[in-house]
Structures are given as C-alpha cells and as structure tokens.
C-alpha cells in the first residue's frame, strides 16, 4: 500500500470540505482555549521532526481504492451502540442518561496485537446520537487495520458518520478539517503509548473539535474539527458518549483480540487493556466525572471480550475502565 505523509497546501485541505462551508468560516482553534498550551506541546513533541511550512498541513496520501475502503469501512463496519454487523464485536461503556453532551475525553493506551490482514482491532471514545434508523457519530482513538493503514502498527484515527448515510476516516475524503501543521489526525503510534484525546463541541460555531493532550506536561494541541454541516443529529450536543474496544473480521474465522488480548480482572486494572482520564463534557460545557451507576456496559460476546468499571484511581489516572479479551472461535457472528 502506497501510503506516506505528504505536506499539502492548507488551502487544498479546506477545499475538500462540503461546498456549504466557506473559507471565511474556517477556524484555527476552538473558542475559549489558551493558545500558549498548544504551542508548548508542538515544540516539545517535534524537536526531531521536519515541520510543515506555514500555510500547509500534514495529509496522508492514499490511492483511490483506499479512499473507497475508508468510506465503506466507516459506514458498513463501524458502530458504537451495538455490534449489528457480522464479525463485529464490542466491549465498552456508554453514559446511560441522555443529555446534550458536549464531548468526551479519554486516554487510550496502545498494545501489540497480532491480527490477520482482513481484521481490525481498536480502542475508541465517541459521541453519538441515534434517532429511529438514523445515526450520527464521531469516533477517535487508535486502530490496527492493515487494509486501511498498510501495516500492522497501531495508528491514531478519527471517523465520522453523518447525514444522508455519509461517513469516512481521517482526511481520506471530505469531512475533517485539519488545522494543526505538525500533527496529522492519523499517524503510526509507538507501543504502550498513551493517546489522550478529547472530542468537544465548540460553544459558538457548534463544530466538533479534536484535541490531543500531551501526557508529559498536560499541554494540548488542536488537530482540527468536523464541521457541523456534516451532521443532522449532532447540531446541539450528543445524546450519548462512551468508550471501549471494537474488533471486526470475517465471521467465518476466529475473532481478533481486543485491548491487550486479556479479559479484565476486577482485582487488577492493568491486567487487561485499560482506558483512563475518562471525562464527560456536560451540556453547560463543564468537564465532569461519572460513577458506575451512570454507565451501561456494551458487551455482545462476554466469552471473548468484557469490560469493567474501575472508577477513580488517583489524580494521575482519573477515572478508568478495563476492557478487552482474546477473541477466538466461540464469539458468535
């Protein structure tokens, strides 16, 4: 697969967005954020990386077939509320009570998992709204998926499902507006890396921003945003927020592992895969924690995968959830 990072003129990335979004409306950061913290993160993270020139952003260049795969995968395989597609399994939690949530924050640690070329395994946080047979969602996290990324490493990613059945991954088709000039929405990650991400709706524009936090000094960088025009159900917050793991594969073959490949152990949160720094953003835009009574487990095959609410650990970890499992041949379709 011919995939590599290429510096593309910023104006070209803007033109890939729907025609209803004009250049004069492009935002470089969400409302009310301190730019000093994002600059600190950029300088510390990229001491040994060639920076994009001013006016350009990093974009993954892909072949046409990979764009089509991204669109099909996002629409046909990716779900956050139920594992309704054959070969798809989930183990996660969502906040039970419906509200106009403004976002979600999660720390997602990467793991070394061996999966087949036609399989995927991922950890993600999401915002979503479902109405009858329609649904909108934004998911961010890391994924191992050789068909999409060309190798077996974990990659960061962002995916969306919008109005009229549209949806896609990263910037491989119109949707996400990349604004960070040194940090692409999707890039290969080291193993045992804490990918700390926040999806949050801008108070003024109602666009949905993706922000990454540096675990070292808790500084932030705003990667970009999904314009509100992409969605018909996420205009004023999201009904659900959640987090967990998802795997996909051929239902005729053994299911792939999730998390670090182990089922959660209630006595040891580090035994399996785990998520930490879990936070919900309330309708009034304040960040808040939650307890186990506020959550609903979403597990479709407890023999192969499971999830466990750990709760508040300490100031360095925050609220945590353990998840994952080995997969195998008895996971169902």
pLDDT tens for residues 222-263?
Answer: 999 999 999 999 999 999 999 999 999 998 899 999 999 999
pLDDT of residue 14: 33
**103-109 vs 273-281, strand pairing mode:** antiparallel
pLDDT of residue 59: 59
CA 237 to each of CA 88, 141, 203, 217, 221: distance values in angstroms, whole numbers, following the listed order: 27, 20, 10, 29, 22
DSSP letter for each residue of 28-50: SS-TT--HHHHHHHHHHHTTTSP
Query: Is residue 197 within 8 Å of residue 106, measured between CB atoms?
Result: yes
H or E, element range at 67: helix 64-76
DSSP assigned state of 228: G
Between CA 231 and CA 138 the distance in angstroms is: 10
Between CA 196 and CA 218 the distance in angstroms is: 10
Closest CA to 155 of 121, 132, 181, 131: 121
> 56: number of CA atoms within 13 Å, CB side?
12
Closest CA to 75 of 179, 152, 153, 173: 173
Q: For each successive 10 residues of the chain (333 residues), what is the average pLDDT?
A: 33 35 60 46 43 60 51 52 74 91 97 94 95 91 93 95 90 90 93 96 96 87 96 95 94 95 96 96 93 91 96 94 95 77
Query: Is residue 196 within 8 Å of residue 215, measured between CB atoms?
Result: yes
pLDDT of residue 272: 98
CB-neighbour burial class of residue 65 (10 A; exposed 0-12, middle 13-18, buried 19+): exposed
Residue in this structure with the two tokens 């005729």, named with its chain if needed: 252
Between CA 205 and CA 70 the distance in angstroms is: 27
Between CA 55 and CA 324 the distance in angstroms is: 41
Going 142 to 144 to 148 to 151, the CA torsion angle's sign is positive
Query: Is residue 2 within 8 Å of residue 65, measured between CB atoms?
Result: no
pLDDT of residue 83: 55
pLDDT of residue 85: 74
DSSP letter for each residue of 114-164: ---TT-EEEEEEEEEEEETTEEEEEEEEEEE-HHHHSSSS-EEEEEEE-GG
**Alpha helices per DSSP H over 126-266:** 146-149
pLDDT of residue 214: 87
Query: Is residue 222 within 8 Å of residue 29, measured between CB atoms?
Result: yes
């Amino acid at each position: 697969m011919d995939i590599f990072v290429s510096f593309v003129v910023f104006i070209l990335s803007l033109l890939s967005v729907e025609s209803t979004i004009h250049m004069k409306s492009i935002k470089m950061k969400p409302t009310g954020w301190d730019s000093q913290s994002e600059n600190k993160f950029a300088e510390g993270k990229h001491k040994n990386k060639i920076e994009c020139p001013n006016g350009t952003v990093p974009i993954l260049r892909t072949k046409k077939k990979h764009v089509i795969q991204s669109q099909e995968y996002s629409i046909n395989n990716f779900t956050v509320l139920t594992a309704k597609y054959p070969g798809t399994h989930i183990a996660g939690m969502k906040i039970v009570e419906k509200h106009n949530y403004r976002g979600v924050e999660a720390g997602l640690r990467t793991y070394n998992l061996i999966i087949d070329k036609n399989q995927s395994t991922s950890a993600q946080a999401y915002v979503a709204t479902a109405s009858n047979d329609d649904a909108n969602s934004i998911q961010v996290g890391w994924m191992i998926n050789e068909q999409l990324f060309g190798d077996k490493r974990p990659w960061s990613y962002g995916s969306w499902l919008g109005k009229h059945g549209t949806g896609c991954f990263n910037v491989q088709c119109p949707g996400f507006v990349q604004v960070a000039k040194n940090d692409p929405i999707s890039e290969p990650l080291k193993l045992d890396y804490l990918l700390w991400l926040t999806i949050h709706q801008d108070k003024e524009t109602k666009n949905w921003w993706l922000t990454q936090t540096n675990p070292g000094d808790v500084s932030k960088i705003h990667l970009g945003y999904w314009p509100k025009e992409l969605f018909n159900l996420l205009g004023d917050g999201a009904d659900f927020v959640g987090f967990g793991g998802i795997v996909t594969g051929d239902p005729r073959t053994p299911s792939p592992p999730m998390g670090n490949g182990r089922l959660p152990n209630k006595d040891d949160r580090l035994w399996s895969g785990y998520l930490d720094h879990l936070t919900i953003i309330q309708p009034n835009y304040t960040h808040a924690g939650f307890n186990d009574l506020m959550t609903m487990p979403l597990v479709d095959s407890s023999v192969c995968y499971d999830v466990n609410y750990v709760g508040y650990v300490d100031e360095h970890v925050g609220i945590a959830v353990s998840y994952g499992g080995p997969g195998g041949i008895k996971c169902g379709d």
